Every structure is written in C-alpha cells, then in structure tokens.
Structure 1
Amino acid sequence: MSARGGSPMRLRGLLRKEFTQVLRDPSSLAIAFVMPVILLLLFGYGVSLDAKHVPIGFVADSPGPTSSSLLGAFRRSPYFAPRVLPDMHAAETALMTRRIDAIVHLQSNFAAQLKGGRNAPVQLIVNGVDANQARIVEGYVGLAVRDWAQQRARAHAEHMNQPVVLEPRVWFNAEVRSRNYLVPGLIAVVMTLIGALLTALVMAREWERGTLEALMVTPVTLREILLGKLIPYFVLGMGGMTISLLLALWLFDVPLRGSLWVLFGVSALFLLAALGMGLLISVVARNQFIAGLIAIIATFLPAFMLSGFIFDIGSMPVWLQWLTHLIAARYFVTLLHTLFLAGDVWAVILPNALALALMAVFFIGVSRLRIHKRLD
C-alpha cells in the first residue's frame, strides 16, 4: 500500500512503539492512574460545601426551661456544635477569635414574650468573612428555630399564625451532600489534566529528542503519526476514567442514575477533545516545560474555575458566561452531573455531547493542519 494511503502494518508498528514507550515512562502512568486517585481522595475528603458541626455560641440573658429547650434543638441538630457562653462580651470575643462562627442570643424577656403570644425575636450574629458559609449558617439557624417553635406550639396546643407553610422537596440529590456534586465535577478536571498533559508533554518531548523528526523522514503518513499518538493515550485516559468512576461509586458512594454506556460515550468525546487540545499545545510549544505550563493555564485552570465544577456559572458576569461556552469541561461537567444525579435526560445529553464532538473535531483537525512533514 502506498505511503499516501497509509499502511495498517505501519500503524501497528507505531502503536506498539508508543505502548512500549508508555510502559517504560513512569510519568505517563502516574498522570493516567496515580493522579486521579490522589486528586479524588484530596477533593473527595478534603473539600466540602456542607456546613456541619458549625461552632456557635449560645447566650441566654435569663436561662430557663424555654432557653434550655431551644439549646437542646441546636444540640440535636447535626449542623451545629453549640457552646453555652455566659454573656455577649464572652460571645463576641469568641467570635472575633474565630472560636465560633455565629452567636444565638436570647434576651431576658424572650420566655415572657413567647408565653404571652407576642413576637419573641432571636438575635443572630454571623461571621461574614466567608459570605457563602455565613448564608448557609443563617439559613440553618432560621430552620432550626422555626422547627423548634413549631414543635413547641404543637406540644402546648398553641396556634401559630402561619398562613403559608413551605414543604420543600429536594430532587436529584435528596441527601444534599456536596460530595455528590463535587466528585462528578472533579472527574472532568481529572480527565482534562490526563488528556491535555499526556499528549502535550509526550509530543513536546518527542520534538525535543528529535524522535518525531526521525519519523518525518520515513514513509509514515501524518494520519498514522496522529493515530499512533492519540490511540495509546486515549486508552490511558479511559483507564483513568474507569478508576475515577470506581472511586466515585464505591468509595464516595455517589449514585449513578444514568446509563453507564452513555457515560463512557460522552467521556470518550471529552477525552478526544482534551487530547486534541494537548496535541495542539505540543505542536505550538515543542518544549516540555512550556507545553506543560500552557496545558495547565489553558485547560486545567478554566476547567477548575469556569466549568461549573465549584462556582455557579449563572452567578458569573454575562461576558464570562459567554466565555465558558469555549471551554470543553463546561459541557462535560453538565453531562456528568446529569448522568450521575438525574439520569438519562436526553434534552441535556444530546446538545452537550454534540458540543464535545465538535470541539474534538476542531482541535484534532487544527493539530493535523499544524503538523507538516518538514523540519521548519
């Protein structure tokens, strides 16, 4: 078969050479198999958006059965670790020294006002340095006080003037565990690093060592070179994806409500896009250090900051929301959240999978155009 048409025998030789090089290269194996485990363990156990066992100060100017009852409600809640403090001065000192995150203050007339059927305000002071944490604590304290008031009213056969009663239902993540949200998004970040770093570093290393230039003077076609580079690292990337999936399901107990085959299908599309980005970076840089730096700045940081992995895209400025459409990880994070927590919602799966397919074709196509069988 002519060189232009390509040869299956040459492609097999290239694949054999590439797989042998991978097995001899600890860095490639570490990026594909060790890094996903480390990142998932660090983020899965070390990062949590749940507010549990929050230290709060509890101050009652006139302690009694009513204040003790409310204190018991806080102690029974998994969200709080209340500390009884003698007065507001001690509570404010504890808040300023970061020993507590909030103060619940009952004034001296709290019990009398409650018994007389009048409004009995509960003062809440929250440390607002972490605005997100402050809002969570404020909401949890409000719910705890409301639930305690309702239980007290039922116990004393009192009527509470509540014309509207909110009955919340949580869909897709009924446990409201942030881990169920973070771990699937982290898989997208891990896959971005695997795909972009593997191809960027490996191809740049070949340029540095001159081995790629040696291939250029052989009858091997550019298509065979690209396939010989993409296929082995695609296999490595899917292996890293499998490890990440097993950790998510068995170690972190994240539910998978969608189809496993659909999950691997969209993961393959995203990995092709990530491999294409890494390939393009290596073609432009031709230096391992520069290629690795560009891969982290151009792929990892956008995937971490602008994909919806942690920060809500809807709360970003409009111009930045438009910019996120250029980031492949945005579509993959949406797909992972849908497949893990909601199921096979095709109205979400199809457009996002199409976007990933177009990005894969674009990056691999541009890389093919940028590679020439000449040394300039």
Structure 2
Amino acid sequence: MSASSGRLRRLSALVRKESFQAIRDPSSILIAFVLPLILLFLFGYGVSLDTTRTRIGLVTEEMTPLTQDLSASFQASRYFDVAMGRDRRLFEEDLVLGKVRGVVVIPADFTTRYAAGNRRPDIQVIVDGSDPNTANFVQNYAQGTGANWERQRQADVALHSPAISVEQRFWFNPELTSRNFLVPGSIAIVMTLVGTLLTSLVVAREWERGTMEAMMATPVTAVELLAGKILPYFLLGLTSMTLCVLLAVFLFGVPFRGSVAALYALSAAFLIPALGQGLLISTATKNQFLASQLALISAFLPAFLLSGFLFEINSMPVVIQWITFIVPARYLIPSLQTVFLAGDIWPMFAKAIGVMLTIGAIMFMLAARSTRKRIG
C-alpha cells in the first residue's frame, strides 16, 4: 500500500511539474496552438485538387452554324477559360510556355462529316503532357463537353431517345470538393508534427540543461518518468486537435457527421505513437536541433508522403506500400475523413485504433529501454 501510494505521489508530482513547465514554456504553446493554425491555414487554403477554369485554346478552322454551336458549348463550360482562334499555330507557343493547358481543334471538315452521318466527326485535343493531372483533366472534360453537345443536339432534333439514362450520385461529398477530405487529412499531418515535436524538443531541452540527470538521481522509475512526461503533453495534444477540428468545421465548412467520441478515441490513439516517437527521439539525441530535424524526417515527411494524404498508396511500389504499414498517419487519415464525411464506422475505427496503439506501445517500450540504460 505504501509503495503504491509512493508511486502515485511521485507520478502526480511529475505531472504537476510537467504541466507547469508546459504552461510557462513559450515553445510548447507555439507548437501546440500557433503551429497548427499556420499549417491548417496553409493546407486549407493553399492545397486544392479542384481544377476549375483551366485556360485552353479553341481552334475553329471553319466557321459554320454547327461549329459555332459547338464552340459555344466549350465557352459556356465552367471548367474552361477559352481563348478563340482560327489556326492551331496561334497557340503552339502559348502551350509551350504554359499560358494555355491545352488546345481543342474543331477541324475544317467537321460540318461535312457530321452532315454525312456515315462517320462520326472527331475533334482534336492537344495537351501538355508535362503535367499529367492537368492533361488528363483537359482531355476528359473536352471529350465530355463534346459528348454533351452531341446528346443535346440529338435531343433537339429528336433523332432518337437514349436507351439508357445514367444518373450520377456521389455519396458523402456530393459537391466533389477536395477541401472536404484534404482538411481532415491535414489535421492528421498537423497532429503528427505537433505530437512528435512536443515531447522531442521539450525533453531534449531538459537533457541540454541537465535537469533530466537530476530527475534520474531521484527514486523515480523509468516508467514513472515517461508517464509523467507524456500525460501533460497528451492533454495538450488533444486540445490542439480540438482547435483544428473547430477550424475545419466553422472556418473551412467541412461537414462533421460522426460522433465526438469517435473523434477523440481516434485522436487519443494516434497521439500515443506520436508522443512516444518524440520521447524516443529525445532520449536518443539529447539535442534540440537534432531532435527537431529527426522529428521532421521520421514523422512529418512519412506522414505527408506515405499516408495516402496526397498520393494513392496502391500506386506506390510494393516495397513502399509495405513501409506505409508502420506510418500511424496511414490509419488516422482515412478514419478522420470517414468521421467527418460519412459518420461512425466502428469496425474500421477499431482496427485503426488497435494498430496505432500497437505502434505506440512499441515506441514507448523502446523509449523506456533507452531511458533505463541511462539511469543505470
């Protein structure tokens, strides 16, 4: 009874000490509150996968009522900013310089072939292949604009009624707004950096100042030391996450269809490996500058590049796909996107929480082992 009460007193004293230090330390406030604001604003306003109003050149080699009608369809499209011309050579230099992203050519024999009806007339789409995403966008939407124009014209002249009517419906994100899934994903990226930096820099600072050695001279065990370090920053990380969620919902307008319980369960499970990785870095380096660099390399970059936030994991090489299984953000990002856009899907969440807690336990065991070596 006395031993357990002594451990409890030591742990509570460590937690109070770390709490006061975190409140008085400007760097902790900057990492927990200012850094998430800056990063979330950058991700929310600076990163977008919505390609709209792409500038293209539209070449009409022969002016007829038919080609003028088709040209008007391209000009009316909300996806294109159209520059008109009569010769494709007018846009060759602009395409090379990037002033236009593609050139749509309505050939001179378009009207003749369309009137003949025995061969479907073609339009030519010339795109800049150095940017594959924009090139595919221009090509697909140019084809779609031409197909819509043809269906509308057939309906107007009552040539025939389509046998199949396709009605599109998009679940969870009907507007197909990239911000609705980028902002929840960016919260995971922000929390990766915040959680790792909170413990790695603060603990490394204690190593530099010599206060960590003084604490190790006390009867405090390695587990008590790590627990006392982690609890205040765990609560600080959850507060930072709450700030990010409020910004996502009320500033960026991202819908929130899940429950608060699921949100905090996922966030708490994710902070365990993030804070554990920070402790492991600090015990291995004992230097603030080196700790910050390792936090960026080992936490932020893998979370940004290997989590599926911007790049599809299935399109990566097989070896890289296997590496992504040890990146905690891989499990948090789809879970957060589901909480925001779809709601609570607990079978998915339970698996993600289990994996993140497992990775966190490994991080803490490595940190505790390293700390015990230094105590001994």
TM-score range, shorter chain: over 0.9
* 1:194-223 Cα deviation digits (max 9, x unpaired): 111110111111111110111111233333
1:121-160 paired onto structure 2 within 5 Å = 121-159=122-160
Once the 2 structures are TM-superposed, how far is the Cα of residue 346 of structure 1 from its aligned partner?
2.7
Q: Aligned partners of 1:298, 1:245: CA distance in 2, in Å?
A: 25
Q: Which moved more, 1:221-230 or 1:143-152?
A: 221-230
- 2:18 touches 2:229 (CA, 8 Å); kept in 1? yes
Three-state SS of the structure 1 residue aligned to 2:372 is: coil
- 1:226–1:6 Cα change, 3 Å: farther
Q: Aligned partners of 2:69, 2:181: CA distance in 1, in Å?
A: 35
- 1:4 touches 1:221 (CA, 8 Å); kept in 2? no
- 1:374–1:98 Cα change, 3 Å: closer
Q: Which moved more, 1:248-257 or 1:202-211?
A: 248-257
- 1:167–1:209 Cα change, 3 Å: same
Q: Match for 1:339: what amino acid? A: V
Three-state SS of the structure 2 residue aligned to 1:371 is: helix
Once the 2 structures are TM-superposed, how far is the Cα of residue 55 of structure 1 from its aligned partner?
0.2
Q: Aligned partners of 1:357, 1:298: CA distance in 2, in Å?
A: 18
Query: Structure 2 regions of 5+ residues with no counterpart?
Result: none
Once the 2 structures are TM-superposed, how far is the Cα of residue 257 of structure 1 from its aligned partner?
2.1
Aligned to 1:250: 250
Structure 1 residue 77 corresponds to structure 2 residue 77: yes
Aligned to 2:218: 218
Q: Match for 1:54: what amino acid? A: T
Q: Match for 2:126: what amino acid? A: I
Q: Aligned partners of 2:193, 2:85: CA distance in 1, in Å?
A: 49
Q: Match for 2:101: what amino acid? A: D
Q: Aligned partners of 1:140, 1:253: CA distance in 2, in Å?
A: 27
Q: Match for 1:183: what amino acid? A: V
Q: Match for 1:258: what amino acid? A: G
Once the 2 structures are TM-superposed, how far is the Cα of residue 157 of structure 1 from its aligned partner?
1.4
* 1:270-315 Cα deviation digits (max 9, x unpaired): 0111001111111111111111111111111100000000000011
- 1:6–1:368 Cα change, 3 Å: farther
Aligned residue pairs: how many? 375
Q: Percent identity between the aligned chains?
A: 46
Query: Structure 1 regions of 5+ residues with no counterpart?
Result: none
Structure 1 residue 290 corresponds to structure 2 residue 290: yes
Q: Match for 2:296: what amino acid? A: I
1:328-347 paired onto structure 2 within 5 Å = 328-347=328-347
Once the 2 structures are TM-superposed, how far is the Cα of residue 168 of structure 1 from its aligned partner?
3.3
Aligned to 2:17: 17
RMSD over aligned Cα atoms: 1.9
Q: Aligned partners of 2:36, 2:307: CA distance in 1, in Å?
A: 18
- 2:338 touches 2:344 (CA, 8 Å); kept in 1? yes
Q: Which moved more, 1:52-61 or 1:211-220?
A: 211-220
Q: Aligned partners of 1:335, 1:41: CA distance in 2, in Å?
A: 21
- 1:222 touches 1:373 (CA, 8 Å); kept in 2? no
